[in-house]
Amino acid sequence: MTMQDINHHLTDPLLMAYAAGTLPEAFSLTVATHVSMCDECRARLGAFESLGGAVLDRTGSVAMSADSLGATLARIREGNGQAERPAPRRRDDVLPAPLHDYVGGGLDSVRWRPIGMGVKQAILPTSRDATARLLYIPAGAAVPDHGHRGTELTLVLQGAFVDESDRYGRGDIEVAGEDMQHMPVADIGADCICLAATDAPLRFRGMIPRLAQPFLRI
């Protein structure tokens, strides 16, 4: 992807956990999507993977079974010929390749569902330990006021949003922790599309959104 003017980056703990391979799938998807757009975080990820290599190097060793090498070479010979050259991954102007993979197509393939006030969402298929959703927020509209029990990652794909703390444009990621109560509002200039990942259900402050929560899977 082309160089972006990105001001809000991934945190070290998220990059380290992604490098270690211990994040829930929905968070990994968000990290992989941000890294696809951000050279700085790609370089930082490379360093955290090097740290993984250093850990592997000094973990010591456990003997492989007796004919392990022979068995491995036999598996290699079986697999030769069916050389895997996967088809090049696809993306569009809004969805980097990791998201394109999960949507199963470009932006026009997203199956949006309205959740009120003009806001739409599409939940992506990931493991259940966290949820990833695309959010579509009309220019100038607000996502209902909510707080979090866990961590919420919000990555801007199109347009921009502002909340109490800052402004976020394409490629920027907001990492919100436990006690953050916030109300993101889409920038007036354009409709905003974000990828949001949460590892616990959001808490809305009003009564009706809370009742609707189980149906909307917010």
Partner 1 sequence: MWRPNRRKEVDDGVGSTDRTTPDKDVWVACMVAVRDARDEAAFARLFEHFAPRVKAFLIRSGAEATLAEECAQETMVTLWHKAHLFDPGRASVATWIFTIARNRRIDALRRQKRPEPEDLPWGPEPEPDQADALALQQESEHLGAALAALPDKQRVLIEKAYFGDLTHSEIAAETGLPLGTIKSRIRLALDRLRHAMK
By C-beta, is 19 or 137 nearer to partner 1? 19
Can residue 102 be called a binding residue for partner 1 (CB under 8 A)?
yes
What is the signed CA dihedral for 189, 191, 193, 196, rounded to 10 degrees? 90
Angle between helices 25-37 and 39-57 (to 10 degrees): 120
Q: How many residues bind partner 1 (CB under 8 A)?
A: 69
Tokens of 168: 């976020």
Angle between helices 12-20 and 25-37 (to 10 degrees): 110
Can residue 96 be called a binding residue for partner 1 (CB under 8 A)?
yes
By C-beta, is 35 or 186 nearer to partner 1? 35
Can residue 87 be called a binding residue for partner 1 (CB under 8 A)?
no
- State the Cα–Cα distance between residues 211 and 4, nearest whole angstrom: 40
Question: How many CB atoms lie under 10 A from the CB of residue 73?
Answer: 11
Pick out residues in 38-77 that bind partner 1 (CB under 8 A): 39-40, 42-65, 68-69, 71-73, 75-76
User: In the complex, which residues of this chain contact partner 1 (CB under 8 A)?
Assistant: 1, 3, 11-14, 16-17, 19-25, 27-29, 32-33, 35-36, 39-40, 42-65, 68-69, 71-73, 75-76, 79, 83-84, 89, 91, 96-98, 101-102, 126-127, 150-151
